[in-house]
Amino acid sequence: MDNPAKGTRGFLIRTFNGYNVFRVYEKDGSFKDYNIYHDDLEITIEDDFATLYGDKETLDYSPEVLGKHCDHEYDHNGECLKCDEPIIDHL
């Protein structure tokens, strides 16, 4: 059955074989993985533990999750607000 995807809550998952899928969980904990063929899908990140690292152009877990942090503050591009160094230099 085909259903419009707009408004569907799910997760971008990288499988063990390296493919990205869109995983949708049911209330009972079961899930369905959808292969992604859409090539310019708009997304909004809702995860409090995600960080964009501008110097490496990567999206990863936040430094706190990775156990790496310092007393500096960073902008949304991962640049230190005190010394303009990328966050990676403080890890």
Q: Are residues 51 and 89 in the same domain?
A: yes
Domain shared by 26 and 52, yes or no: no
Question: What residue numbers bound the domain in which 14 lies?
Answer: 8-37
Cα of 27 vs its chain's centroid, Å: 23
- What is the number of residues in the chain? 91
Same domain? 52 vs 33: no
How would residue 6 be classed by pLDDT, with cut points 50, 70 and 90? Answer: very high
60 and 85 both lie in a single domain: yes
Dihedral, 85, 87, 90, 91 alpha carbons, nearest 10: -160
- pLDDT, tens digit, for every residue of 12-67? 999 999 899 999 999 999 999 999 999 999 999 998 889 888 877 888 888 777 66
| Whether residue 55 sits in one domain with residue 29 | no
The answer to whether 21 touches 31, Cβ cutoff 8 Å, is no
Confidence of residue 71 (pLDDT cuts 50, 70, 90): low
Number of domains in the chain: 2
pLDDT of residue 8: 94
Inside any domain, residue 68: yes
Whether residue 54 is found in the same domain as residue 78: yes
